[in-house]
Structure 1
Amino acid sequence: MTPHKLLITTAGIMCMALSSGVALALDGASLYRERTCIACHGDEGREPVMSDYPKIAGQKAPYLLAQMKKIKDGTRSNDSSIAMKNVMHLINEDEMAVVAEWLANLPR
C-alpha cells in the first residue's frame, strides 16, 4: 500500500470512529468539571453547595442517567432542577452516560 493510500485509509477509519457517537475516549471526571457539574454538586458529587442539591456520588448509573435525561427534556422539573436545566445544553447523552458511570463508581 502506498503512503498516500495508507494516509487516506487511516483518515477514513478515524473519521468513522469519531462520528460513531461512541464515548470511548471520554473521561467522566473531566466531563464533570468541564460541563459545570462541580459548581453545584461539589468536587466529587459528595458536597453540594446547597442543601437542596443531591449528593450524587455513589448513586446507581442508570438512575443518574435517567434523572439527567428527564431534567434535560423537561420531564423532571422542580425548584432544585431549574439551575441544572439551564446548563443541560452543555452535555450530550453519551457524555451523560460517562459522567453517570464515573459518579456511580465513587464512594458515597
Structure 2
Amino acid sequence: MKSALILTLLSASIGTAFAGNVAKGKELVEKNNCTACHGAGLKAPVAAAYPKIAGQYEDYLYYALKSYKVDGSSLVGRNNAIMQSQVKQFSDKDLKDMAAYIASIPGDLIVKK
C-alpha cells in the first residue's frame, strides 16, 4: 500500500514538472510562424516531407525539438538544417511551452492497438 502511494505521488510530480505553459507556447508558435511548413492547425503540412505535429505527445515534441539543438554529431540529435536554425533561439522552457501547446491541439494522429 505504501509503495503504491509513493509511486502515485512520483508519477503525478513527474507530469507536473514536465508540463509547459500552453498559452505561452501558443504565443511562440504563432510568433515564429510554425504553420508556414506544418500547415493550418499544425496538421496540414505544406509538403509531404514535413510532419503533422498537432496532437503528438508533449514529451515526444519536447525531446524532438530539443534534439535539433544538438550540434557536432551525425549520430546524436536531428539533422534538419531548417529546424536546427528555427530552434536555436529557444530556451528549454520555451521548447516545453511550445510542446505543451502543440500537444493540446486536437490532431488526427491514430494510435494503433
State the TM-score bracket (shorter-chain normalisation).
0.5 to 0.7
Identity across the alignment (%): 30
1:83 aligns with 2:82: yes
Q: Tell me the TM-score normalized by structure 1.
A: 0.67
In the TM superposition, what is the alpha-carbon distance from 1:40 to its structure 2 partner? 1.3
Residues 56-75 of structure 1 aligned to structure 2 (within 5 Å): 56-74=53-71, 75=76
Q: Tell me the TM-score normalized by structure 2.
A: 0.64
1:94 aligns with 2:108: no
Which amino acid in 2 is paired with 1:43?
A
Residues 9-20 of structure 1 aligned to structure 2 (within 5 Å): none
Matches of 2:103 and 2:49, distance apart in 1: 20
Which amino acid in 2 is paired with 1:91?
F
Structure number with greater Rg is 1
In the TM superposition, what is the alpha-carbon distance from 1:25 to its structure 2 partner? 9.2
Q: Which runs of 5+ in 2 are unaligned?
A: 1-19, 108-113
Q: Which runs of 5+ in 1 are unaligned?
A: 1-22
Superposed CA offset, 1:1-58 (max 9, x none): xxxxxxxxxxxxxxxxxxxxxx769522111021332221123210112111110000
Residues 39-58 of structure 1 aligned to structure 2 (within 5 Å): 39-58=36-55
3-state secondary structure, aligned to 1:99: helix
Q: How many residues align?
A: 84
